[in-house]
Amino acid sequence: MLKGWRGYEIVLGAVVASAAWAVLLILTSYPNGVATSLHEIGQHLDLVSAFITAIATAFIARYTLTLKRSTDKLWDAGEKQFALARETSDRQNVEVQHQIDIAKEAGRAAQKSADAAVAAERARFYVVIKKHNLADFLSLAGMYPNSPTMPYSFEPVIEYAFKNYGKTPGIISEVSHGLIVHEAPPDPVYQVSDHLFVENMIAAGETTETQKFDGPVLFDTIADALPILTGQKHFWFCGRFDYTDVFGNPQVHRFFMRYVKTGLQWGFQPYDHKHYNQSS
C-alpha cells in the first residue's frame, strides 16, 4: 500500500484501471475497431462487468482482511494498555494503602505517646485508712467467747482519706463507701458519702479532708463477732473515689479491703477483687 493513500482510493483506482483495460481489449479485438454486432458487444461488456466485479470484490476482500487485522491489532493494543493501566492502578492502590497504614500507625503511636504523657502527669488518688474502732470491737468480743448469746451491739466507725500521688491537681467529684461482713469476697455494695468537702481541688502530694464511715449496727450478740475472731468471716471495706484531672478527664479510684489479723495485729489489707484496687 502506497504511503499516504487510503484503502478505498487504491480499490477505486484498481477498478477503474481494470475497466479501461477491458474496454480497450474489446475494441481492439474487432477489425478496424468496430464490433460486428451490438449483441456481441453486449456479451463482451457483460464479461467485462463480471471481470471488474471480481477484481473489485477481490480488492474489497483484501482491504477488509487488512482492516480486520488492523482492528485486531488496535484491539490487542487497547487490551494491553488497559491491562497495564489496571496493573499500574492496582500497584498505586497498594502503595497508597501502605502509606495510609503507615500514617495510621504513626497516628496511633503519637496518640499513645500523648496518652502516656498525660497519664504520667495526671492526678492519682489512693485510699489511706487513718483510724477505726474495729480492733476495739474485736478485742472486747474476744473476752466473752463462751457467752455467745450475750447482747453486743456495735456501730463501726472508719476514718479515711485519699492522697494524691500524681503530679498535678485533681478535682473531687464524689465519694462512696460501704462495709460488709462476709466469708468470701462479696459483691461490693456502697453508698455516696454525705460529707461535704470544703476544698475540692487537691494538689499533688496533698490529701483530702477526712471521710468518715459510720454505718449501721452490724451485730446483736457476741455470736455475731466470733466468726470474725476465728477467721471464718471478715470485714470488707469498699468504695470508690470519683474525680477529674486537670486535663478535664473523669477518673475513678476503686478500693476493696479486707480486715485481717497478721501475727498479733489486726489491720486493713487491699484485696484483689474484680476491677477494684485500681485507679483509672
Residue 197 in any domain: the answer is yes
Mean pLDDT score of the chain, rounded to an integer? 81
In the predicted structure, residue 54 carries a pLDDT above the cut 50? yes
276 in a structural domain? no
Edge-first strand order for the sheet with 211-213 is: 125-132, 158-164, 211-213
Per-residue confidence (pLDDT) for residue 58, from 0 to 100: 67
Dihedral sign from CA coordinates of 19, 25, 31, 37 = negative
Domains held by the chain: number: 2
Residue 109 and residue 48 share a domain = yes
- Among residues 100, 121, 142, the one where a domain terminates is 121
> Who has greater pLDDT, 64 or 59?
64
pLDDT of residue 277: 65
Euclidean distance between CA atoms 157 and 209, whole angstroms: 16
- Looking at the domain assignment, is residue 279 inside a domain? no
Question: What is the domain extent for residue 259?
Answer: 123-270
**93 and 132 share one domain:** no
72 vs 14: which has the higher pLDDT: 72
Q: What percent of the chain has pLDDT over 90?
A: 40
Over range 213-230, report the average pLDDT.
88
- Residues 224 and 162 grouped into a single domain: yes
Q: How many residues are given for the chain?
A: 280
Q: Distances from the Cα of 23 to the Cαs of 6, 15, 104, 114, 273, in angstroms?
A: 27, 12, 85, 99, 117
Q: Check whether residue 26 and residue 104 sit in a common domain.
A: yes
pLDDT digits (tens, 9 = 90+) for 254-274: 999 999 988 888 999 999 877
Whether 215 is covered by a domain: the verdict is: yes
Higher pLDDT, 280 or 253: 253
- Whether residue 86 is found in the same domain as residue 224: no
Residue 10 within any structural domain of the chain: yes
What percent of the chain has a predicted confidence (pLDDT) above 70? 74
Nearest Cα to Cα of residue 49 among 12, 23, 13: 23
Residue 151 lies in a domain: yes
The reported pLDDT for the residue numbered 11 is 54
- Choose one of 77, 104, 121: the last residue of a domain: 121
Pair 182, 113 in one domain: no
2, pLDDT greater than 50: no
198-217 exposure pattern, b = at least 16 Cβ within 10 A, e = fewer? eeeebebeeebeebebebee
Task: Give yes or no for residue 34 having a pLDDT over 60.
Answer: no
Question: Could you tell me if residue 278 is inside a domain?
Answer: no
Q: Within this chain, do residues 78 and 153 fall inside the same structural domain, yes or no?
A: no
Q: Does one domain contain both 117 and 11?
A: yes
pLDDT tens across 171-198, in order? 999 999 999 999 999 988 899 998 889 9
CATH no. for residue 229?
A: 2.60.40.1470
Residues 9 and 114 in one domain: yes
Do residue 44 and residue 129 come from a single domain? no
Least confident stretch, 2-16, 40-54, 148-162: 2-16
Q: Compute the average pLDDT of residues 72-85.
A: 80
Q: Work out whether strand 234-245 and strand 170-182 pair parallel, antiparallel, or are unpaired.
A: antiparallel
The pLDDT of residue 262 is: 85
Same domain for 76 and 153, yes or no, is no
97 belongs to a structural domain: yes
**Quick check: 60 pLDDT over 50?**
yes
Most confident of 47-61, 97-111, 196-210, 258-272: 196-210
pLDDT at 14: 60
Residues 256 and 130 in one domain: yes
